[in-house]
Chain A
Amino acid sequence: MENLLKVEKITKKFGNFFANHEINFEVRKGEVLAILGENGAGKTTLMNILFGHYTPDSGNVIFEGHKIDFGNTNSAIKLGIGMVHQHFTLAENLTVLENIMIGKQSIFSLSLPKKDARKKLLRLSEKYGLPINPDSMVTDLSVSEKQRLEILKTLFLDCKLLILDEPTAALTPQETEALFATVREMVELGLSVILISHKLNEILRVSDRIIVLRDGALVGEVNTNSAVRSEIAEMIVGKKIEYPKKQDVKRKSQYLQLTDISYKSLSFPAVQNINLTLSGGQILGIAGVAGNGQTTLAKLLSGHLKPSSGEVLFYENKKVNTSPKSFMNLGLAYIPEDRNSDGLVGEMEIWENVIMTEIDTPYFRNKFGWINKSKSFERATNLCNLYDVRMQSIRQPCRLLSGGNVQKLLLGRWLMRSPKIIIACQPTRGLDEGAIASIQKLLLQARAKGSGIVLISEDLDELLSISDDVAVMYKGALSEPINTEQTDKLSIGLMMAGEGF
């Protein structure tokens, strides 16, 4: 097969750190190339170089015989490289068609050539099997439709190489299948696709070739049909991954009970008549496609939202007023879904974040409110050692930590308090295999120590492997919990699509 893109000896340094080190590979016409690697392995840097966003320190990227003009994304777009980012870049208050046309018009032109654009959009939508209504408002689209729109936006620019960054992060298994069918369709029609993902199972199904990055270097290249899952996983991490195994744990008494909880407002998806019980030593998984009310449920469980009706009872039918603080004081820990904006204060140093949940404890301050730095430093150092948070110094701002380390720090901070109830919302989303294994291990350890855990996740493999029971959320309603021993991915997947509700 002919080469479309050739990457030659790309090296990019940030300070003394090699984000990319002499990377060589090529993308052939009409293939799906998957790029795998942990967070911080250099995938994003490499894509930013391909897309013309960063300038490498040395090396070249040649696309159809043309060198890419680095530091200029227009050049990459003009040559035919299109990128769909993990986070959507859509204007919610415009229609599909208007979103397609954004940025393609000079701001001084007074008219929009909507007619031509509509024609082209409909042609592309038919050609690649990506159905969409040009006049829908983007706000009204589902996640998978938004993604379809993002892909159409790049196709609209006549791209020959499509880069998809973590495209399945917010899709149901069924939607993922549909997306992959489209990807296969696109390569049949001559497009090339680079797929960046950390979900190995998916990559193995859809790609033609796989390259693996680790610590900025290319450590492996395999044809997918001769690839072995465990070998690739080890290539990614650089060592053998030990996935935690669920042990039998003695159930304790009931820790948390929700009776007929409903919540209605404009700012969050509504939930209706939620009933749920959680005992010590139990992991209750909550499955569901993003946006079906899981976030609302998590906020209700953690005291950030007050239910419109219904009761939240702790332990022996104890009731407290709804606030994050009073729930915390009852021994509840909450891992929020968005760990960067709700989890840690990025601008503040690691030690400052470590003591944030503890400011009421006199241990870290004297009676005049003076912070005891040496005790705080000691706690931060212990926490980082205990939970394997990799950092240069506890005085470094948290924003410099990778996703996995942020999550270990967040979870570790709560585990230090020996919580009785843990509400974990998407705790492993976007993390690499190694970090996923450590977070799951920590959750199972907490379960063994008697904590009751509500695990809200979109990753069915995770839910089935570490939780005791799974309930499914669909359009604000929660199903009865099902024992994970007595169900499988397929039936949960069907429930996620609304069966039985």
Chain B
Amino acid sequence: MVTFRLEERERTSYPLALISPLIAVFISLVLAGLLIILAGANPVQSYYELMKGAFGSKNAFAETLARATPIILTGLAASIAFRAKFWNIGAEGQLYFGALATTMFGTGLIVLPSILMIPFLFIMGALAGGLLLLPLVLLKLYYKVDEVVTTLLLNFVVVLLVSYLLEGPWKDPMSLGWPQGKSVVDSGILPQILAKTRLHLGFVIAVFTALSIWLIMNKTIIGYQIKSVGSNASAASHSGLPIFKTTLIVALFSGGMAGMAGVTETAGLKGYLTLDLSPGFGYAGIAVAMLANLNPLGVIFSGIFLASIYVGADAMSRAMNVPTYLADVIVGLTVLSILLSLIFINFKIKFIGNRDND
């Protein structure tokens, strides 16, 4: 009988930490390939079409990056919160709150020159996202109310609120009956950064945010506090670290970045608020954060990866006549295999051979 056991590694080597997610992605592509075969297509050719659809032309590439923008921001929201073991599942609602703030302040209430208007909208969006999370984090800190439940359920409340506003008081009278908000004023629109594509300034802001979060997490006292509280809150509090303040800051950061994703979509991609602004970007952020093992720089790449799958899947579907839902399957499998690969990063596998013959 050959059995094996897991032994914890003292330290994880960097090459291993980099290679194992790649292997995990490869394995998930192989597994999804089986489904593509079941759907009656050639998997190699399908993946080729997928890659072509995501990166094959300037337009495709720009579309992928544009799609990655909100996912990177919600991914950052999840990664910083999860690092502190604050389980914010509510990025979707916070994103919409950010979008509501953009609509409230960006459609004529205040008009500033572009150079001030854009930062102003991002600040308002971030504040809105953070404020939405504030009562929930206070409930957790004062009454130990489980934030998984509250943040998740509030998503549905917020989406219904958006629906009410867009069908009612905030409905744009010029929209020919469609439930959508008024257009963001010209000075608030995020400029294109690649001509004749939908790629806008939001992507640069998302990448810049990721870099800042990385610096905060790794170089500053506040990042150090977040990591300490996340990995052992009790020891951190015994050493005099402020648990309350740290958790509060984490929640504001996390909700803020999800709110910023609402700004990039409203003021960047669409120009106005709609009911289908986010096809689940808030939830995709959780997958992105997991794929990146909660590393803020990794979130940039895993965000682009996830976006490329979703964007490319449309092209693959058209060329090969397979369902676009395969994109969801690939993403799901990738998250699963990444989570499994974390075991290999943190543990050694020791095979134990048969010892009867000596």
Contacts and interface: CB of A to CB of B under 8 A. Distances in A.
- Of all A-B residue pairs in the complex, the 3 with the closest CB atoms, nearest first, are A356-B239, A345-B232, A71-B352
A365 interface: yes
B15 interface: no
Contacts of A325: 240, 242
13 contacts: A55-B350, A71-B352, A72-B3, A324-B237, A324-B240, A328-B240, A342-B235, A343-B235, A347-B231, A359-B225, A359-B241, A370-B219, A371-B220
Interface string A36-79: 00000000000000000001000000000000011110000000
Interface string A305-333: 00000000000000000001100100000
Interface in A150-184: none
A369 B228 contact: no
A359 B235 contact: no
A352 B218 CA distance: 12
A255 interface: no
Interface in B183-237: 219-222, 224-225, 227-228, 231-232, 234-237
Interface of B: 3, 5, 10-11, 219-222, 224-225, 227-228, 231-232, 234-242, 350, 352, 355
A348 B238 contact: no
Contacts of B238: 302, 304, 324, 334, 336, 342-343
B221 A371 contact: yes
B232 A356 contact: no
Contacts of A15: 10
A400 interface: yes
A357 interface: yes
A344 B220 CA distance: 20
Nearest to A344: B235
A341 B231 contact: no
Given A348-B227, A369-B220, A371-B219, A55 B235 contact: no
A359 B221 contact: yes
Given A359-B241, A365-B221, A371-B219, A342 B352 contact: no
A430 interface: no
A353 B241 CA distance: 11
A344 B242 CA distance: 15
B355 A70 contact: yes
B220 A71 contact: no
Given A55-B355, A370-B221, 10 more contacts: A71-B352, A328-B240, A341-B234, A341-B235, A344-B232, A345-B236, A347-B231, A353-B239, A359-B221, A370-B220
Interface residues of A, number: 35
A438 B312 CA distance: 64
Contacts of B231: 345-348
A417 to B, nearest CB: 10
Given A324-B240, A325-B240, A344-B235, A71 B221 contact: no
Contacts of A71: 3, 5, 352
A343 B240 CA distance: 11
Contact of A345 (B3, B219, B221, B235): B235
B176 to A, nearest CB: 51
Contacts of A371: 219-221, 224
A440 B196 CA distance: 75
Most chain B CB inside 10 Å of its own CB: which residue of A334, A345, A357, A359: A345
B63 to A, nearest CB: 38
Most chain A CB inside 10 Å of its own CB: which residue of B3, B222, B350, B355: B355
B228 A345 contact: yes
B314 to A, nearest CB: 42
Contacts of B239: 353, 356-357, 413
Contacts of A353: 239
Interface in A341-392: 341-348, 352-353, 356-357, 359-360, 365, 368-371
Nearest to B355: A70
Nearest to A365: B221
A356 B219 contact: no
A456 to B, nearest CB: 15
B198 to A, nearest CB: 37
A72 B352 CA distance: 10
Contacts of B10: 15, 400
B221 A356 contact: no
B80 to A, nearest CB: 16
A302 B3 CA distance: 48
Interface in A69-114: 69-72
Nearest to B353: A55
Nearest to B220: A369
A276 B155 CA distance: 53
Contacts of A302: 238
Contacts of A334: 238
A156 B316 CA distance: 63
Most chain A CB inside 10 Å of its own CB: which residue of B228, B231, B235, B237: B235
A376 B211 CA distance: 24
A341 B236 contact: no
